[in-house]
Structure 1
Amino acid sequence: MRNRSVAALLLTGLTVVVLLAFGGTGVLESLTGSPTPAVSSGAAAGQGAPGPAAPAGSAAPANPSSLAEINESLLPAEARQTLASIRAGGPYRYSQDNKTFGNFERILPRQDSGYYREYTVPTPGESDRGARRIITGSGGEKYYTQDHYDSFKFIAEGS
């Protein structure tokens, strides 16, 4: 009997660790009834809850991360074309574009599942999608990676 109790306790602990490791904070909150520290700290800073995408022509969001910034005008031409497609609502060149980005690397600010969307930035000379991407957040923020999620820069709009 005691072995079953210990096994159940270990299984419960393992489940919680797996949920936290793979971004299941929303599930954990629904089970416990209280926010996890990672989500509540973002929410306290005005970053936690995904909101609607920023309307076209609205002011660019401030950098909600500690990541370096890159001005949109300094991005490669293909990245600027991808941003134009995003603003127009498509069409997108790849079937994987405008799909949920999981942020499994945890480099971008932590958000609920579904907050981030991913878009391919074509790389000249590559026969596949290449490594460059733009990631957008529901709050209107945009990030650029040229090395397939190993690093990101916040995209600052303007000239």
Structure 2
Amino acid sequence: MTPSASPRARPSAALLALLVAAVLGLSGCGNSSSETATATSLKPAGMAAVAETSLPAEARDVIKRIEDGGAFQYRQDGVTFQNRERRLPAEPSGYYREYTVATPGAVDRGARRLILGKNGELYYTPDHYKSFLWVLRGGVT
């Protein structure tokens, strides 16, 4: 029996190349960073989600500022969010940071906030911590 006729024949080089290309191609699918991939797996059960693209323009602006490590409008931006309401998953103190989302027409900071976890998870609250939405980064709901 020749080696190519053996039931345990080796795959051809072309087949191996195809498999390697497929695996490498799939590895780029989905989230752009392992941090975001981790964040996706941490979505709280039962929490409603919102696509980043569906957030108010002011919230998308704050997200861009966070990504750029940029200047923020309010001195409180970037401070520790204590999660006193316990509406987000329990984490050690300092895990969450909060950022103000400007509310057009408000005379103060308004009620809207973004909360960012250390693993990249992002939450939006339109009503000053009464409710939260899981933000799907770059995605649609």
Output the TM-score relative to the length of structure 1: 0.62
Local SS of the residue matching 1:110: coil
Q: Which has the larger radius of gyration?
A: 2
> Over residues 76-111 of structure 1, what are the superposed CA-to-partner deviations in whole Å (9 max), with x where a residue is unaligned?
000000100011112011000000000000000000
Local SS of the residue matching 1:79: helix
Counterpart for residue 58 of structure 1: 33
Counterpart for residue 104 of structure 1: 84
Residues 1:146 and 2:126 aligned together: yes
Within-5 A mapping of 1:1-159: 57-59=32-34, 60=36, 61-62=39-40, 63-66=42-45, 67-159=47-139
In the alignment, the residues of structure 1 paired with residue 58 and residue 98 of structure 2 have an alpha-carbon distance, to the nearest angstrom, of 15
Shift of 1:64: 2.6
Give the superposed CA RMSD.
Answer: 1.1
Output the amino acid matched with 1:112.
P
Q: Which runs of 4+ in 1 moved over 3 A?
A: none
Counterpart for residue 36 of structure 1: none
In the alignment, the residues of structure 2 paired with residue 100 and residue 68 of structure 1 have an alpha-carbon distance, to the nearest angstrom, of 23
In the alignment, the residues of structure 1 paired with residue 122 and residue 93 of structure 2 have an alpha-carbon distance, to the nearest angstrom, of 16
In the alignment, the residues of structure 1 paired with residue 33 and residue 104 of structure 2 have an alpha-carbon distance, to the nearest angstrom, of 32
Output the amino acid matched with 1:89.
G
Identity level (%): 51
> Over residues 18-62 of structure 1, what are the superposed CA-to-partner deviations in whole Å (9 max), with x where a residue is unaligned?
xxxxxxxxxxxxxxxxxxxxxxxxxxxxxxxxxxxxxxx515321
In the alignment, the residues of structure 2 paired with residue 143 and residue 69 of structure 1 have an alpha-carbon distance, to the nearest angstrom, of 9
Unpaired segments ≥5 residues, structure 1: 1-56
In the alignment, the residues of structure 2 paired with residue 113 and residue 105 of structure 1 have an alpha-carbon distance, to the nearest angstrom, of 14
Output the amino acid matched with 1:76.
P
Local SS of the residue matching 1:108: coil
Local SS of the residue matching 2:130: coil
